[in-house]
Chains A and B, each alone.
Chain A
Amino acid sequence: MTASAQTSRGLDIHFDGVVHLYPSAEGDVVALRGVDLDVGAGEEFALLGPSGSGKSTVLSLLAGLQRPSAGQIKVGPYDIGRLTNRQLLRLRATEVSLVLQDPARNLLPYATPTQNIEFSQRGARGRGKTPPWKPQALLEQLGMGRLAQRTVATLSGGEQQRVAIASGVAGAPRLLLVDEPTSQLDTASRDQVIELLHRINSELGATVVSVTHDPTVAEAMPRTVTIRDGRVGAEGRRGEEYAVVGRDGSVQLPPDVLERLPPGTLLRVHRHRAGVDLRDPELDPHGQ
């Protein structure tokens, strides 16, 4: 029995006008300002964006750690905003798994990878879901069999990150969320982690969402979504980047374009068969 044979298809994701506020003493901080996003089941993509843009908020909302202030998030059949705490716990135990940025936050440092995977599976087992693989088999399948009996604290940073990701999929989730999987890793470790994420997506069938700053990771992903200032600013597919028209018709421009067209610039909209051009009247006074 292989792992893939046991895995059901991944969950699709739909963000519909999602707004999220963080309350603070100085006034609420708007983290997300109407995010619309659709991710197909079994898709693998990366969330990009500068620090503070809201991508980690997207991840925590997907994991059900928080509920959106407005809008709707659907993960497969589940409406995150309408689930009770108990249901969110069940969701995390059986369907959605989050791997946090620091591997130490995902692992028991005194336990072996095998024990850590067993530990992660307890949530699913407690909900009556029997994970389709044994810890050793999972580690073998993900190419970490030789690490199985070593204590986590003795592993390198890259090994720990891979074990953390393995723990994340231990309960056979249909959606795997990974926050900065390659931070603090060397190139070789980074490549191994990327390879691991691909294998999880392809062999286990889970939808994989990675938040990353790492351009290498972004390049390795078939799809990227860039969050800027709380909105979906751009999307890349197979190496090509696209601007995204928001629900209100707004378009987030890439930073290099913004340098040329600073806020307040008047643009002429030029329609043609292939689409629309935005032109600066000063540079193109005749609209040619």
Chain B
Amino acid sequence: MLGRYCILSLTDGRPTVRTYRGRPYATPLPGALWRTRVRTCHEMKSTSRHLPLTLAALRWRWATSISLLVAATLAVAASAAGPLYLSTADGTVLHAHLEAAGASATVVSVGDYVTSSEAAALDHPALALGRQYGLSRWFGQPVWSVTAAMDLPAPMPLVARPGVCSHVHFLVGHCPTTAGQVVLTSRSAQAVGLHLGSTVVPTAPPGVGPVTVVGIIAPGNLANPYWLGQDYFNFGGGSLDAAFTVPATVASLPSTAVAQFPLLPSRVTVGNVAGMEQAVSAYERAATEQLGLTTGSKLFAAVSSYANSGSLMAAIVLVVDLQLVLLALFVIFGLVQRSAEARRREVALAKLRGFRLTRVLSLGLAEPALLTLIALPAGLIVAYAGMAIAQRLALPNSVVLLQPLPVLAGMAAFAGGLIAAVVGVRRTISSRLSDELRAVEPKPSGAARAAMDGAALALAVAGIVELLAAGVLNGSQPNPLAAFAPGLVAVAVAIVGVRGLPILASVVVNRTRNSRWMATGLAVRQVVRRPASLRQVTLLAVATGLACFAVTGWAAAGLNRTTRADFVLGAARVLTVQVPAGLNLEHAVERADPSGRHAMAAMLSKTPSENLLAVQVSRLAHVAYWPKDLSRTSLPTLARWLAPHLQPALILTGAEVRATITETGNPDPPPDLVFNVVDSGGNPGVADFGFLKSGTHTYTANLPATCTGGCHAVDLEPIWTASSTGPQQVQYSLAISSLQVRTAGTGSWHGVTSRLDDPAYWVSNGPGITAAAVGASGRRALLLSVNDQAGQASSPAVIPAALPSTLHGVVTQANGVSDPAAASIENFDGSSLTLDVPYQVAALPQLGYEGFLIDLQAALRAESAPPSQTVDQVWLNANAPSSVEASLLAQGIRVTGVQTPATDIQSMNRGGLALAYLFFLFAAGAAAVLATGAAVFSIFMTSRRRAFELAVLRAIGLSQRTLLRSLLGEQLLVLGPGVVLGIAAGLLGALMALPSVPEFTSLAGGPPVELVFPVLPIVGLVVALVVLLAVAAAFASAATLRLASWDRLRTEMT
């Protein structure tokens, strides 16, 4: 092949190039040109002869060759891994964000206020436009719906939506098939008093024909992607669920028609997401301009969120990847340089034989260059394979693509290797041949080494200053010098350590002089005699430092995520429940968990203006996750403050209430006495005793139906209305001596703990009424003295002291309360509530950085109306027995959702932050392997030289065991300090750098986190490293000792 490529011949005694690079040349070539060609041809032939020799040399030094190849492969792989990981994990982050956003946040909607006939027309152009802009590449078939408003008689959305019947559960009846047929949810039907088969004429809009209920359905699950975020089941707070029908029903009604394009996340990739954004933008613009449609989508927000997360991930990954690349370059530089130095004698021989310098250089470079050349594709393949495994294990929804950046990173490592080889060979070339031939080891200049150490230390100091001043990230971009700081710290620590080790070793040298510790003495002397071997310590320290830093970062970040997930949710399990009317959730939880240690009732309200969480404070410490650093005040103190110091409520449980009342003063007209009550659901009600008569009588009043579950009395109000002709003011008194309830009309009466004999329990709401105790009918009674007058804003009434005017609460620091003693907030029922919030916390479970925490009992007692937009929850701790949940279900409580921190953790684990820290773990592994590989390589590099010395020692009578121990000791003297210094440097780097990395600086809604060194992972790393290095040292020592044969004394071949 080479002959065809380059053929030389003699023409008239003059060398002539017949072909050159495969092309024929006219012969003879003129002047100096043929000399160039001849030389090039010689060099090409020389190269062809080089290769077998190079391969033979590689075979001869098989152990070092394999070590270098493996280490170089790992270095290239490590360099390529960062960019490759980023590009792969980006896909996972993208899909995690799209999935987290949900169908409702990724759907593209176009619609308008139209009649149904127009809606039918809308379908076609919207679809055509979608096709035109290629939406089908990312979106499924559009779902369109037409919504009209109808009063049946309460206002209720009437929705025509294709396929709705296959996404709801029919309790009874069937799907509407013709105009005028509707299906209702069971609760809406109950609320408006309709049932299956009912036919009703809507009161609005006017002119609508009768509709017939043909089906009763259970509310649909809005989490189902079919609904695309349309909230058709918004029952409560005066709203009813939607009714569903066929398009013909709404044909004549003013409607809102909406076409929704559901996103198909599986079709979105990192590569086409930008194209999707452009297509959607263009489509929306065209839909608005050409069809006059309104458009809307939160898709851009979701994509933007992904982009932010992705860039954050990239920035954090770079923090450790830059150091990994630095380490890889450091390793490959060291290995290749030593490999080049290993060819010193061959290079010297070439110089002795008068080779040209270029040939000497190529001879020295041949082996390391060939190995690094092989390592380049091998490293890329290893990186790709590793990433493919990582993708299967931890990076779902991603694709491993070997894009240019990872290849460039791998080539950078390769280039580093070549530069190292050139530097190594250059040193040999520039050294004196006479020294080479005398096998004098080149001694690095002390001044040069000191200068390099000084430069590295200065760089480390600069990095630390930058790190402490500005942090690792500058915005969302890495701060390069600060990002390198942990690695630089490791270098600095290693430099100081390596400078100190010979001093320490020389002390041991003195101690082992004339001692029996032969092996130790030999090992220490070996280290002192060849301090150059200590450069291995630097490499090992940097690698170990990076591994330790990375493990610390990964483990601490994982710990933080767990803490955050636990805290954000609040408990090990949180059940979202629906409480049947008449059932008190607090009481239900107390019955399910009498111990008070496993379950806690909670009510949550999150509105744009205010967040409020009410819990059973007495159970808070047992059930909720409450990190220590959440506030300066301990949880017991907060719980004591929050615990309601309320008088017992006056609870009326039953169907009827009766009271014995003595009226004096003969008011005219007679007053009407009522108990205003609120049931457990917050619904107000009245128990009306009717008009009172003069003298002592027993009066009976019906309690609201929901009071069978208990109602608490809000006030006792005598209502007097002046007649138009009579006096406008009246004075009278009422002595109430007995209060009893019963469950049914025929049941027996039971007394109520009413505190009628305690006037302090009853607080007047104004000047027109006072409470006192009085003896009546042999028993003490409550005496109300009333001075009523017409035209007052409110009737005089007495209020049970159970309802304080100001509740105790806790507020988050970010909430900003101007008057902590009287913070005004909105209670669950919308009424105003005054809170005393002297204590602040950083964040609150379920609420995040803004919100109030109060006692549930107090909050509910302060209600005078049903709560709106609230969520009832039961929090369970990790030890809660299953009987608690079973008991809740048995009491009629319906569990509509279950949340655990694992769900949140799983979600977070697929986010950019978590994936960034997952790379830390990879970096730690890569660093540990690089460290071990470099150590093994270094040991092999010295094994032949050491073998000769050991053979001499064996010859003078030292036992094999002593020599093995000496060798091991020597390795450990080099490897041990490397690991120790590296661990110290890694922890120091983590302490300085990690607090400024986002996982530690911001956790939306989470508790404040601080760097806690994860002991177990660090110990695990140390153990793994020690075992790896010990095995490597033992293996290498044994191998070296085997080489120390008698034959080695006779002739030393290299």
Contact = CB atoms under 8 A, between A and B. Distances in A.
B755 interface: no
A212 B350 CA distance: 24
Main secondary structure of the interface of A (DSSP, over half): helix
A136 B359 CA distance: 24
Contacts of A127: 354, 356
B46 A65 contact: no
Interface in B205-256: none
A66 interface: yes
A274 B1048 CA distance: 56
B59 interface: yes
Given A66-B434, A105-B345, A118-B49, A93 B354 contact: yes
A109 B1053 contact: yes
A106 B349 CA distance: 6
Interface in B423-477: 433-434, 437
B172 interface: no
B434 A89 contact: no
B805 interface: no
A126 B1053 contact: no
A78 interface: no
Contacts of B645: none
B361 to A, nearest CB: 13
Contact of A104 (B42, B46, B1053): B1053
Q: Which of A60, A104, A105, A125 has the most CB of B within 10 A?
A: A105
A157 to B, nearest CB: 6
A91 B57 CA distance: 28
Nearest to A107: B349
Given A104-B1053, A122-B46, A65 B353 contact: no
A97 to B, nearest CB: 8
A119 interface: yes
B736 to A, nearest CB: 114
Given A108-B53, A110-B56, A126-B359, A90 B434 contact: no
Contacts of A153: 60, 1053
A171 to B, nearest CB: 7
A225 interface: no
Interface string B313-350: 00000000000000000000000000000000110111
Contacts of A66: 434
A100 B354 contact: no
A98 B359 CA distance: 19
A89 B433 CA distance: 11
B353 A92 contact: yes
Q: Which of A89, A91, A111, A120 has the most CB of B within 10 A?
A: A89
Q: Which of B353, B1051, B1054 has the most CB of A within 10 A?
A: B353
Contacts of B49: 118, 122
Given A65-B433, A65-B437, A115-B53, A108 B346 contact: yes
B64 to A, nearest CB: 13
B945 to A, nearest CB: 13
Contacts, number: 91
A123 B1053 contact: no
Contacts of A110: 53, 56-57, 59-60
Interface string A146-180: 00000001000100100000000001000000000
Interface in A19-76: 60, 63, 65-66
Contacts of B356: 89, 126-127
Contacts of B345: 104-105
A89 B359 CA distance: 12
A94 interface: yes
B1050 interface: yes
Q: Which of B345, B354, B1052 has the most CB of A within 10 A?
A: B354
Given A111-B53, A157-B1051, A60 B434 contact: yes
A171 B349 CA distance: 14
Interface string A79-114: 000000000011111100110101111111111000
B529 to A, nearest CB: 19
A93 B353 contact: yes
B53 A119 contact: yes
B355 interface: yes
B351 interface: yes
Nearest to B15: A128
A124 interface: yes
Nearest to B1050: A157
A125 B59 CA distance: 27
A91 B351 CA distance: 11
Given A119-B353, A123-B350, A104 B437 contact: no
A238 B57 CA distance: 45
Contacts of A157: 1050-1051
Looking at chain B, what size class is its interface with the partner chain? 20 to 34
B352 interface: yes
Contacts of A65: 352, 433-434, 437
A28 B951 CA distance: 36
Interface residues of A, number: 38
Given A66-B434, A100-B437, A109-B60, A125 B42 contact: yes
Contacts of A60: 434
A220 to B, nearest CB: 24
Contacts of B1050: 157, 184
Contacts of A160: 1051
A63 B348 CA distance: 14
B1051 A122 contact: no
Contacts of A120: 353
Contacts of B1051: 103-104, 157, 160, 184
Interface string A175-193: 0000000001000000000
Interface string A196-212: 00000000000000000
Contact of B359 (A90, A122, A171): A122
A218 B1051 CA distance: 25
B67 to A, nearest CB: 17
Nearest to B355: A123
A119 B351 CA distance: 12
A109 to B, nearest CB: 4
A93 B53 contact: no
Contact of A126 (B346, B351, B355, B434): B355
Interface in B347-398: 348-357, 359
Given A126-B359, A157-B1051, A108 B57 contact: yes
Contacts of A107: 349
B355 A98 contact: no
A105 B1051 CA distance: 11
Interface in B37-85: 42, 46, 49, 52-53, 56-57, 59-60
A149 B1054 CA distance: 20
A122 B353 contact: yes
A122 B53 contact: no
Contacts of B57: 108, 110
A124 B349 contact: no
A103 B42 CA distance: 28
B345 to A, nearest CB: 6
A104 B1052 contact: yes
B56 A98 contact: no
Contacts of A171: 353-354
Given A65-B433, A65-B437, A125-B42, A98 B53 contact: no
A90 B359 CA distance: 13
Given A104-B1051, A110-B56, 13 more contacts: A60-B434, A92-B352, A93-B353, A100-B352, A104-B1054, A105-B348, A110-B57, A115-B56, A122-B353, A122-B355, A122-B359, A123-B350, A126-B355
26 contacts: A65-B433, A65-B434, A89-B351, A89-B354, A91-B354, A92-B353, A93-B354, A94-B354, A104-B1053, A105-B345, A108-B56, A109-B1053, A109-B1054, A111-B53, A111-B56, A115-B56, A119-B53, A119-B349, A122-B49, A122-B350, A122-B355, A126-B46, A126-B354, A127-B356, A171-B353, A184-B1051
The 9 A-B residue pairs whose C-beta atoms are closest, nearest first, are A93-B354, A110-B60, A92-B354, A123-B354, A123-B353, A109-B1053, A110-B56, A89-B354, A65-B434
